[in-house]
């Protein structure tokens, strides 16, 4: 009954199998499954923002965070509003008010104070000027 005289399956023999496949797709709760081809296509939705780290973040984490995360040797802390950055005190003038060029100079060339020191380039002579300046920018943006 399912085969013709030449031994081949008749087209009507495939109908029950097709119906079972369609019903199996409907049973999963996907109404489009009965009419959608069984090929799988991956669609990637476009994103509107890209999470790119700040250019100075890596330098900060590898060279500056050792002192600036905890305030070692009088270093102003980063990541929270810190009066060391914004208020005048006996040791340092207001750091942010000094201007970014002064802060770049201190980061590049170092600074000695009564309560601590800022080593040139955070003690990393291998850092170029652009990397140090980017780290200063990162610190300022995260300390206001």
Query: CA–CA separation, 125 vs 128, rounded Å?
Result: 8
Using a cut of 0.85, tell me whether the model's pTM lies above it: no
How many folded domains does the chain comprise? 2
pLDDT digits (tens, 9 = 90+) for 31-69: 554 555 555 556 666 656 667 788 899 999 999 999 988
Where do we find the tokens 């810190």? 82
Cα dihedral across residues 80, 62, 56, 48: positive or negative:
negative
Across the chain, the runs of DSSP E, i.e. the strands, are 111-112, 117-118
Q: Are residues 77 and 115 in the same domain?
A: yes
Q: Are residues 82 and 123 in the same domain?
A: yes
pLDDT digits (tens, 9 = 90+) for 82-133: 565 665 555 445 667 777 898 899 999 998 877 678 899 999 999 999 999 9
Position 30 in a domain: yes
Position 109 in a domain: yes
Q: Which residues pair with 118 in a beta bridge?
A: 111
Position 51 in a domain: no
Please list, in sequence order, all residues whose beta carbon lies within 8 angstroms of the beta carbon of residue 25, skipping any fewer than 6 positions away: 33, 34, 36
Please list, in sequence order, all residues whose beta carbon lies within 8 angstroms of the beta carbon of residue 77, skipping any fewer than 6 positions away: 68, 69, 70, 71, 84, 143
Q: Are residues 1 and 39 in the same domain?
A: yes
Angle at CA 84, nearest 5°, toward 82 and 85?
75
* Structure tokens that stand for 110 in this block: 């170092």
Expressed as residue numbers, the domain containing 22 is: 1-43
């Amino acid at each position: 009954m399912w085969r013709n005289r030449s031994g081949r399956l008749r087209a009507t023999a495939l109908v029950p199998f097709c119906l079972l496949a369609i019903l199996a797709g409907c049973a999963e709760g996907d109404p489009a499954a009965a009419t959608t081809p069984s090929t799988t296509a991956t669609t990637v939705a476009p994103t509107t923002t890209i999470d790119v780290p700040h250019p100075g973040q890596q330098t900060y984490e590898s060279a500056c965070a050792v002192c600036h995360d905890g305030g070692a040797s009088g270093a102003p802390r980063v990541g929270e509003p810190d009066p060391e950055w914004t208020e005048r005190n006996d040791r340092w003038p207001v750091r942010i008010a000094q201007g970014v060029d002064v802060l770049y100079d201190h980061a590049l060339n170092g600074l000695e104070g009564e309560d601590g020191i800022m080593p040139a380039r955070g003690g990393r002579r291998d850092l170029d000027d652009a990397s140090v300046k980017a780290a200063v920018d990162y610190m300022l943006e995260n300390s206001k």
